[in-house]
Structure 1
Amino acid sequence: MISVPLGALEVAMVQAGTRATDTLRDTTEFARRLDDLGYRRLWYAEHHHSPAIGAFPPVVLTAHAAASTSSLRLGSGGVLAPNHAPLMLAEQFGTLAALHAGRIDLGIGRGPGTFDEPTARALRRGAGPTTDDEYRHDVSETLRFLVEEVALEPLPEPWLLSSSTAGAALAAELGLPIAFAHHIRPDNTLTALGHYRARFSPSRWCGRPRVLVCVETVCAGTPEEAARLAGPMDVVKAGLLQGRSDIPFPAPEQAAAHPFTAQEARALAGFRAQQAHGTPDMVTARLTALAEATGADELMLVTPVHALADRLRSYELVRQHVGTPVR
């Protein structure tokens, strides 16, 4: 059994034919149960204009969950800097950190949170994609505003989200902990983390390289059940491989009948081999190998399964076999 702390990333999947309101309500029970299970962190991802993922603002979910739990750390995983004014982010998360001392994280990422160009431009108030210099400026200004303008104590714990070497380089330059999206770009993980550690510069935020790795994890009693639960997300991923972001999140039964092309099947199998799917023993082995290969200080599990009971069961099974509960 590995002993690294475990966290969770909430992506709030909305199954076709169900209401986003029901998904939103499930987030409360999900947070409470993770708190009981001894998970360290629960982060909320920012998404927009997707039929498969709820557009629930991370700051709102963080505030609600913090009021509904007792020890779990809550935060963004992440808020996307191009969509927000730095001062507003500093005010929002600085206030939350003061209200819930020692429990608030501010994870900042770069992506627009949507593949839909009109939505991305609306979020940016008509501006185009952010440049490297703009992104660096926005992150730096958010951190500065936290200290110099908001100036509440304690401060939230800042993290930089990354799926590339460029993001890892910025985290190293600013002396921030890094949360790496292995669940999105697993082929980049080892190279980017090596770059981060080699170039890390200590800061007031972090004295040494600190690494969290996010991995897609679907755990069930049998491999067949894990594959069934993972099936709907495979359909969404197949759509993304075709450049389509308008694919609804199907029910498992619908996903089981989906006709994947040979190319899609190969790509999905390759991706799945780098994540953690299967029985508790299979998932434990994969998480152990990933933690050892990356030297991760923490692992964060993302389980894109719609049904709350199935999602919670996956997290319960992992909790029984991996890590040390946080109390």
Structure 2
Amino acid sequence: MLDIPLSALEVAMVQTGTRAVDTLRDTADFARGMERLGYHRLWYAEHHHSPAIGAFPPVVLTAHAAASTSVIRLGSGGVLAPNHAPLALAEQFGTLAALHEDRIDLGIGRGPGTFDEGIARALRRGAGPATDAEYREDVAAVLSFLVEEVALGPLPEPWLLASSAAGGALAAALGLPVAVAHHIRPDNTRAVVEGYRAAFTASRWCERPRVLLCVETVCAQTEEEAVWRAGPMNVVKAGLLQGLSRTPFPTPEQAAVHPFTEQERQALDGFRAQQAVGAPEAVVGRLAQLAGETGADELMLTTPVYDLRERIGSYELVRKYWGR
């Protein structure tokens, strides 16, 4: 198997029949589980106004997890620059890096984190979506403030999230390591990686191109069980295909009887074929294939499974078989 690190992305699903506070209580247990299993880093995503995913600020979850662990790297994957003042981001993550030396990452992304236009405008105090130029200025400002205004000691490690060739090009121009969102837009992965490597310019942040590939991964003892556990996220995705985020995160039993349209089934089957869902041998084989095809320096797994124990169990199986 390829000798590259495995990491985790947590999106903090709020399960049907539970409260957001229950999900928050699970985050510390999940972080400790990832550290126990030897995962390299754990990132938190920014989402807003979704009944399926908690609106928990990545900086807060990072701080909470850092207080509950000792060695795993932690951070945002990502914090969405258009929603925040650059100086505030630099201060928040600079403070975390000073408190937890050599453990904090600042992964920066672009999207609003919501499908609700009203919420998106509220996050930007009435402004519309950020332009390409505004996003670039925001990212550059965060990096500048980290060095010139914050600099409390050790700095967080900055990453740029990319799901398009434009995102990869910006990471290359700024000399940042890139986290490729294969779990969101797998059809763009090759263009992102190839364009990034071709245009990369070294910087104080990164001397050579560094690629982290994020893959949706659900692993169980059998393929049937893995598909069963992956069912709830399929319901959420079916809503996203329609530009909606109103679907709560259902139980596997509810997902099993959800009335998908034929178009939705084809889209979901096509998406799953590009991820890593199945029994351990098939999952690690697929992950190794993706790493080999992209030359990724690191794999990050996101596992949107309903039950916390089953979610950690998926990561445990992958870790166990990855080293064989």
Residue aligning to 2:211:
211
Deviations 1:35-56 (A, max 9, x none): 1111000000000000000111
Residue aligning to 1:6:
6
Query: Matches of residues 177-256 of structure 1 in structure 2 within 5 Å?
Result: 177-256=177-256
8 Å contact kept, 2:250–2:306: no
8 Å contact kept, 1:42–1:73: yes
Residue aligning to 2:36:
36
Residue aligning to 1:88:
88
For 1:33 and 1:301, locate their aligned partners in 2 and report how far apart those are by CA, in whole Å: 14
Residue aligning to 1:294:
294
Displacement after TM superposition at 1:2 (Å)? 2.3
SS of the equivalent of 1:238 reads helix
Query: Matches of residues 1-327 of structure 1 in structure 2 within 5 Å?
Result: 1-323=1-323
Aligned partner letter, 1:250: P
Displacement after TM superposition at 1:127 (Å)? 0.3
Deviations 1:119-167 (A, max 9, x none): 0000000000000010000000000000000022111000000100000
Deviations 1:236-268 (A, max 9, x none): 111111222211111100000011111111110
Deviations 1:192-223 (A, max 9, x none): 11000000000000000000000000000111
For 1:323 and 1:27, locate their aligned partners in 2 and report how far apart those are by CA, in whole Å: 26
SS of the equivalent of 1:126 reads coil
Deviations 1:101-134 (A, max 9, x none): 1000000000001010000000000000000010
Number of equivalences: 324
Aligned partner letter, 2:218: V
SS of the equivalent of 1:78 reads strand
For 1:107 and 1:323, locate their aligned partners in 2 and report how far apart those are by CA, in whole Å: 27
Question: What is the RMSD of the two structures over their aligned residues, measured on CA atoms?
Answer: 0.9
For 1:37 and 1:55, locate their aligned partners in 2 and report how far apart those are by CA, in whole Å: 27
Bigger relative contact order, structure 1 or 2, given CA contacts below 8 A and separation 6+?
Answer: 1
8 Å contact kept, 1:4–1:323: no
8 Å contact kept, 2:252–2:306: no
Deviations 1:152-185 (A, max 9, x none): 2111000000100000000000000000000000
For 1:70 and 1:117, locate their aligned partners in 2 and report how far apart those are by CA, in whole Å: 39
SS of the equivalent of 1:25 reads helix
SS of the equivalent of 2:159 reads strand
For 2:249 and 2:27, locate their aligned partners in 1 and report how far apart those are by CA, in whole Å: 17
For 2:243 and 2:8, locate their aligned partners in 1 and report how far apart those are by CA, in whole Å: 27
Deviations 1:273-307 (A, max 9, x none): 00000000010110010000010000000001121
For 1:240 and 1:101, locate their aligned partners in 2 and report how far apart those are by CA, in whole Å: 38
For 1:163 and 1:260, locate their aligned partners in 2 and report how far apart those are by CA, in whole Å: 26
Aligned partner letter, 1:280: P
Aligned partner letter, 1:127: A
SS of the equivalent of 2:237 reads helix
Displacement after TM superposition at 1:60 (Å)? 0.5
8 Å contact kept, 2:37–2:316: yes
8 Å contact kept, 2:97–2:155: yes
Displacement after TM superposition at 1:323 (Å)? 5.0
For 1:51 and 1:288, locate their aligned partners in 2 and report how far apart those are by CA, in whole Å: 34
SS of the equivalent of 2:82 reads helix
- Structure 1 runs not aligned, ≥5 long: none
TM-score normalised by length of structure 1: 0.98
Q: What is the identity percentage for the equivalent residue pairs of Structure 1 and Structure 2?
A: 75
Displacement after TM superposition at 1:81 (Å)? 0.2
Aligned partner letter, 1:277: V
8 Å contact kept, 1:6–1:323: no
Aligned partner letter, 1:95: T
For 2:246 and 2:27, locate their aligned partners in 1 and report how far apart those are by CA, in whole Å: 23
- Structure 2 runs not aligned, ≥5 long: none
Displacement after TM superposition at 1:15 (Å)? 1.3
SS of the equivalent of 1:49 reads coil
For 2:48 and 2:132, locate their aligned partners in 1 and report how far apart those are by CA, in whole Å: 22
State the 4+ residue runs in structure 1 displaced beyond 6 angstroms: none
SS of the equivalent of 1:215 reads strand
